[in-house]
Structure 1
Amino acid sequence: MSTPDFSFETESQMQGFTRVAGVDEVGRGPLAGPVTAAAVVLDPAHIPPGLNDSKKLTAKRRQALIALLLEHADVSIAHASVEEIDEINILRASHLAMERAIAGLRTPPDFALIDGNLIPRGLTLPARAIIKGDALSLSIAAASIAAKTRRDQMMWDLAQQFPGYGWDSNAGYPTKQHREALQNLGVTPHHRRSFKPVHNILYQHKNLSD
């Protein structure tokens, strides 16, 4: 099984770019919570060993790696809210979170490696989209870890305020428990109303009350 390497970053630097940021997002599929993105500029002399697509790592490993990244890399994490997701759609909102993450870096990068097949249209610096970039580029892998650890923590915190939906374990994704809780407990302010399962329940309740 292949692991991410630094070749995309090196190639960009050979083209004259000095600060290359890896960018990734997490949380496009959940029914609840924000979409979260991270931008990371690695220090080539202090790259934590074991960086990989966050989905391939245990929660414990991700926590260990984010601690090292916060110590040795320039890391920025940003979000787009549920309201923004419902207003502009999830793809645009995920790109907005990416743009905010890049803008939040301590030192502005001059090039970005973006996970996926699209470059956010609001980006003001040169960039390259890489499909499955979190499994290919160390910087994007680092960004995926940063975004996932932050969003998982946010959803855990929200789960304490809204028990029953299982957000502490499902992070807002449409698991059986989450779908049943939507039916039984109703829609919270943190649910994405433009997403079909949530929209359908609101529609059902509206019809019942009419």
Structure 2
Amino acid sequence: MICLTYVEVLTYFLQSRNRAGYEVVAWLGKRLTEAELLRRIREVNIRILIDEMDNKTLVKEWLAIDTEAKGAVYFGADNRAWVQYRGGKEAIPLLATPFAENLDGFLVYIDEAYIYGVDLKFPHDARGVLTLALGQTKDHTVQEDLAAMRLRQLGTTQSVCFFAPPEVHRSILDVCKKTPGGLVGSSNINSYHVVNWLLEQTCRANEQLQNLYLV
């Protein structure tokens, strides 16, 4: 049943509303700064970010960039969800606010370190950004990170898109150019290429583990 769930999530990634993939790169191929990444997210009108950054600082900067959001939700060191209101001095526990059952209009930052046990009430048409890292496997994406599974309606109305920093984008291109129907002559990526890349990374990780057992 668990394996079936993992496969289902990968198939969700291939649905048309989840096909968007972006190379997030600055001038001369450099990585984006944190602020530049948040501006890029604002440009594509997304308010859910799943990544690994400093939580409270990030949401304050994100609120300064997305001026239409009511506030931002993040996870503290106590593993609790907190709400930072626009203009508010102190954050408030999410459960103490009237928005725990409806996060429409809020920015949401999900940190991998505090993702376990999270069950936020996202709007039915919520759209999230999932950042990719070198060596990331399908299990990390679907199981350990559980990023996609935070969107309970990913298979129907909710959606994700993928942000790849320069080194990951190059890795995806390398993998997909060797795949039939791959990216020959193109640098654009979508979820089809991301899924191919995740499966390739998973196979490589399994091969490395197998070699360790053989030794």
Please confirm whether the aligned pair reaches a TM-score higher than 0.5, indicating the same fold: no
Using structure 1 for the length normalisation, give the TM-score.
0.31
